Structure 1
Amino acid sequence: MDFQIVEVFNRSVTIELVSDAAFRQGQPFDVYIDGEKTCSTNRNVVTVDGLLPDRKYKIGVAFGDEGGAFGTGESADGMVRGSDAVMVEREFVTKHESVLLNVRAFGAKGDGVTLDTAAIQAAICSCPKDGTVYLPKGTYYSTALFLKSDMTLWLDEEAVLLGDTDREHYPLLPGMTPTTDEKDEYNLSSWEGNPLTSFASLITAIDAENLDIIGPGVIDGNAQNSDWWVNAKVKRIAWRPNAIYLCRCKNVRVQNVSVQNSPCWTVHPYYCDDLAFLNLNIWNPSDSPNTDGLDPESSSNVLVLGTVISVGDDCMAIKSGKYYMALKHHKVTENVVIRNCLFERGHGSVTVGSEAAGGVKNVRVSQCIFDGTDRGLRIKTRRGRGERSVLDDILFEKIEMDGVHMPFTVNMFYFCDPDGHSDYVQNQAPAPVDEMTPVIGLIAGRDINCRGVSACVLCGVGLPESPIGELRFENIKVQFLPEDERVPERPVMMDNFDEMSGRSVFARNVKKLVLRNVEIAGAADTDPQLEAVGEQVLDGVKYV
């Protein structure tokens, strides 16, 4: 067993085990700093905090019997061996910090009642390059805070940033503003893929670079005590904010923070590059509307590790805007890595779309647990997303699904937006291929176990004029719930599509379907149902 150092911060470090296990190990292991034990855990991604800046440390991970004795020498491979255990060690140096600014020194009370926005914002505005704004233990009642480049926001243990419940206290971010020469436009906010005026989020960063947000504190949108979730689809003053909103930011890392009770999408990177989300804990009530966990939109080079998400909508939804943004401000969402995460509750574990008019490519989801979500892999698009909406090279592997009703769904008739039920979107006869026609390329899954399946294993429905390019699923093992425990459901949200229960594979309008080494136990049918499917490779498909 081995581990790698993923990211080093000024007062913490995140490591990841080199292992094929999904999210966690079968037994705990110990983590040491300079020979002193700091924690025992079974999670594959571990954050150690409580460190000091500008310091060299040695981090060790001990594998083997608890209490095993270690030797005093270190071998060339970085391992310290004992009679009953092995410790792997690595050295690192924490990031430089120029100054630590305690928000209480700026007048913040942290009593959960006093509005601390001005005091915290004063600390942020006063923070020099490589400085840290520090929230010690306490509850800091606040409206939107604006972060800037080259700083760290540190919420210490038992520190809570609590959102103001009065929407009129939040500033607005205009959706689009024409430039002075009227040759361009300046975009500051987004609502469901369109550049519409929204409230600023509790944590907002615009055009910031080299920004860290670290825990182990809590960012609490406090939406359950406000009216954010009441008539949620009705615009009141402006559209709902996020808990964390990053606009055109670069090199942003968010580590070991709990984010909860968000007014809308919880963490929303928008037109960003080079992002890392490490060991986050994102939680919203199951009935909270549109509270996706983490939605990278028109962003590239996104790393999500060790994160636990349990929300009222999709756990993660990878997006790239609607047609106007793809036409005028085109940016593909690409190079997204999601690994060693636990997605516990939500409509989809990892979704691509539906606002993906700019395209999504090169997504890798691996070593994750999907537990109790409606869908596992979820792809959704529709006519009108446009020819730049190419969803391609999306791979899920080494996934454990428990109680996921419908593990794999791909839908090109998704009935979103005001015209979602129109004849244009829902007509299943071939339409002309034009600049408004979306494309789906390769969607793949391999080495996946699915237990407690209810409705169907795989449901893929392409457009007749633009069939899904390829669905490839290899080394898949499925166990259905008993028939009396299954509830019929509609796996793809489109009109004129029946509910399913115990269905194995349904595919319509697909150029190529590959099913290799797929074992399905307890299905109501005994063969895939294929309609307008071109090349078919069914190798080792077994019903038991």
Structure 2
Amino acid sequence: MNRRDYYSIWLCFGAVTILSMHFASFASAEWPTCSGMVPVNYRNDKISITDYGGVGDGVTLNTKAFRAAIYRIEHLKRRGGTLLYIPPGEYLTGPFNLTSRMTLYLARGAVIKATMDSRHWPVVPPLPSYGRGRERPGGRYMSFIHGDGLHDVIITGENGTIDGQGGIWWNMWRLGTLLFTRPNLIELMNSRDILISNVVFKNSPFWNIHPVYCSNVVIRYVTILAPSNSPNTDGIDPDSSSHVCIEDSHITTGDDLVAVKSGWDEYGIAYGRPSHDITIRRITGSSPFAGIAIGSETSGGIQNIVAEHINLFNVGIGIHLKTNIGRGGVIRNITFSNIYMQNARKGVKISGDVGDHPDEYYNTNALPIVKDVTVKNVWGDNVQQPGLIHGLRNAPFTGICLSNIHLRGGQRVRNSGWQCSDVSGGAVQVSPWPCSQLTSSQQWGACSSSF
């Protein structure tokens, strides 16, 4: 790159940084934000993918260029790290690994596009908390952008695009021709101090953004898009991870917009790493499945989760907490608040009979514990059914608290009533009025602090 190119990068990165800081400053006066949770390190060292032979014509395969550039970042170890600049253009590539102390920066008009040839995708071992691929036994295809054991990683830019070109993978899933579990668009494992912002994620083969066994992760100002009929294209899935903040983003996909997970049956129980201290706020989007979900993989435990100020349109289920026999794990201290939904099949679902099993060796006596779940300040229009809460006969759900919830059927939608079993808790100012298990005055004390 010449001096003018470096100067342009500096101006772009500085402008986006200042704009984000200004927005955060404005937002902090009105709303809490993730600002400061993960440091934004300015990289004095900057390189461009074109320095390593990158060609943005949408045809040339750039896998070697990405791997060479990141190899340089990893081995030169410049003080303060390095920014890898992706200029405008379409950069077709196979999957690649990130490294620590780097920023992947996509300029406006830049597209990193995944090759559709599955022969370029390595197969990696299954996650230990899953024991096998999520869809197929054995390993799984490496995520498009991947990292393991990293720290201080930033993926950002001027709303450039990371395009997984997932159509071929969706068709393999539909036809039953998958050899291994489909790749995520981005997966970071065993990593910390991660910031993902100001990028568009499009057409993921499988889950979009999957931080697993991670801590100190901030995902903000992102757009995630996939067709409503694209299978299993979850938006953001923090998995056995802690201190995660997801905010100020738009997600429209074919599966759950945000789903908190922590491992699958006996493998997740043995691995024993919970997801905890996760905040999800100011998310908008639509999906034929859930808006905000907990589970169904909950075997390591999930606790201290807050989802607030969420706007959902055309969703299957607005709020979905889901687990199953064999999962084990403790799900507690979960709060959903200030949520609006329009055109939903179901408003609230908390259920103990959702999700499949990795194999026949799961322990049928490993029952999940679900307690201290608060759902408050929820409004909905054109909601077919307000809610369903089904605990387990040998492990009833306790401390389920409903407050100030109003879910209307609308002129063309007849709103049926709540359905409940094996649950206890309390309710106040809920319409339609919930089931009797949540209305006893003797039970209100379990969650009176939430009202």
Give TM-score scaled by structure 1 length.
Answer: 0.71
CA separation of 1:196/1:357 partners in 2, compared to 1, >3 Å: closer, same or farther?
A: farther
The answer on 1:160 being equivalent to 2:90 is no
Equivalent residue of 1:231, what SS? helix
* Cα drift, residue 53 of structure 1: 10
- The verdict on how the C-alpha distance between 1:60 and 1:210 changes in structure 2, with shifts beyond 3 A counting, is closer
1:220 paired to 2:201: no
Give the secondary structure class of the aligned counterpart of 2:184: coil
- The aligned runs of 1:120-131 (5 Å cut-off) are 120-127=66-73, 128-129=77-78, 130-131=81-82
Letter in 1 for 2:338: K
Provide the residue aligned with 1:417 in structure 2.
357
Partner of 1:279: 221
Please say if 1:201 is aligned against 2:143. Answer: yes
Tell me the residue number matched to 1:382.
324
Larger Rg: 1
Which of 391, 405, 409 is residue 331 of structure 2 equivalent to? 391
Deviations 1:343-389 (A, max 9, x none): 22230001111111111111101111111111111011111112xx1
Deviations 1:298-335 (A, max 9, x none): 01111001111111111111100112333332100001
Q: Does 1:404 align with 2:344?
A: yes
**Cα distance in 2, alignment partners of residues 508 and 56 from structure 1:** 50
Match runs of 1:63-462 below 5 Å:
95-127=41-73, 128-129=77-78, 130-175=81-126, 191-192=133-134, 196-215=138-157, 216-224=159-167, 226-232=168-174, 234=176, 236-386=178-328, 389-417=329-357, 435-454=365-384, 456-462=385-391
CA distance in 1, matches of 2:434, 2:135: 35
Q: CA deviation at 1:202?
A: 1.2
| Alignment check: 8 A CA contact 1:313 1:348 kept | yes
2:89·2:111 contact (CA, 8 Å) conserved in 1? yes
Aligned length: 420
Could you tell me how far 1:196 is from its partner in structure 2?
4.3
| Deviations 1:83-118, CA, capped at 9 Å, x for gaps | xxxxxxx9xx97331211101111011110000011
The one-letter code sitting in structure 1 at the alignment partner of 2:160 is G
Q: Which secondary structure does the structure 2 equivalent of 1:125 belong to? A: helix
Q: How far apart, in 2, do the equivalents of 1:418 and 1:374 lie?
A: 25
How much is the aligned-residue C-alpha RMSD, in angstroms? 3.3
* In 1, Cα distance between equivalents of 2:388 and 2:16: 51
Report what 2:6 is aligned to.
none
**Aligned equivalents of 1:62, 1:100: Cα separation in 2:** 27
Q: Partner amino acid for 1:397?
A: S
Q: How many Å apart are 1:475 and its aligned residue?
A: 1.5
* 274-283 vs 439-448, which moves further: 439-448
Change (3 A) 1:266 1:57: closer
Task: Please give the residue correspondences for 1:499-514 in structure 2 after superposition, counting only pairs within 5 Å.
Answer: 502-510=415-423, 512-514=424-426
Q: Distance in 2 between matches of 1:319 and 1:171?
A: 25
CA distance in 1, matches of 2:19, 2:410: 52
Match of 1:478 among 407, 410, 429: 407
Sequence identity of aligned pairs in percent? 26
Does the CA contact (< 8 Å) of 2:257 and 2:285 recur in 1?
Answer: yes
Instruction: Flag the 1:303–1:111 CA change in 2: closer, same or farther, 3 A.
Output: same
Matched, 1:468 2:397: yes
Structure-2 separation of matches of 1:198 and 1:258: 24
Deviations 1:273-300 (A, max 9, x none): 1100011100111111111111111011
Superposed CA offset, 1:237-258 (max 9, x none)? 4211000011111111100111
Question: In the superposition, relative to structure 1, how do residues 230 and 110 fare at CA in structure 2: closer, same or farther (>3 Å)?
Answer: same
**In the aligned structure 2, how far is the partner of 1:235 from the partner of 1:411?**
32
Give the Cα separation in 1 of the matches to 2:219 and 2:336: 19
What is the deviation of 1:145?
1.2
Distance 1:279 1:173 in 2: 30
TM-score, reference length from structure 2: 0.85
8 Å contact kept, 2:130–2:267? no
Contact between 1:252 and 1:276, CA under 8 Å: does it hold in 2?
Answer: yes
**CA–CA distance in 2 between the matches of 1:247 and 1:519?**
43
Aligned 8 A contact 1:209 1:249 in 2: yes
Contact 1:402 1:450 in 2 (8 A): yes
Provide the rounded CA distance (Å) in 2 between the counterparts of 1:222 and 1:142: 11
* Residue 533 of structure 1: how far off its partner (Å): 8.8
Contact 1:217 1:257 in 2 (8 A): yes
Within 5 Å, give how 1:481-500 maps onto structure 2.
Answer: 481-482=410-411, 485-486=412-413
SS in 2 for 1:341: strand
Q: Could you tell me how far apart the structure 2 residues matched to 1:271 and 1:61 are?
A: 27
Provide the C-alpha distance between the structure 1 equivalents of 2:252 and 2:306, rounded to a whole number of angstroms. 20
Do the aligned partners of 1:134 and 1:155 also contact (CA within 8 Å) in 2? yes
Q: Which string of whole-angstrom CA distances, capped at 9 and with x for unpartnered residues, describes residues 417-450 of structure 1? A: 3789xxx99xxxxxxx985111111211112211
Deviation at 1:478, TM superposition (A): 2.4
- In 2, Cα distance between the equivalents of 1:236 and 1:139? 27
Residue aligned with 1:122, SS: helix
Number of the residue aligned with 1:51: 14
Q: Give the Cα–Cα distance (whole angstroms) in 1 for the partners of residues 19 and 228 of structure 2.
A: 43
Aligned residue number for residue 429 of structure 2: 517
3-state secondary structure, aligned to 2:173: coil
How far did 1:133 drift? Answer: 0.6
Structure having the higher strand fraction is: 1
CA, structure 1 residues 453+327, in 2 after alignment: closer, same or farther (shift >3 Å)? closer
Q: Secondary structure of 2:392's partner?
A: coil
Separation of aligned partners in 2, 1:436 and 1:302: 27
Q: Secondary structure at the match of 1:326?
A: helix
Counterpart residue identity of residue 400, structure 2: L
1:407 partner amino acid: G
Q: In structure 2, what residue type is equivalent to 1:142?
A: T
- Taking the aligned partners of 1:317 and 1:311, their CA distance within structure 2 comes to 12
Please say if residues 170 and 231 of structure 2, whose CA atoms lie closer than 8 Å, have aligned partners that are also in contact: no
Gaps (5+ residues) in structure 2? Answer: 1-8, 30-34, 446-451
DSSP-derived class of the 1:222 partner: coil
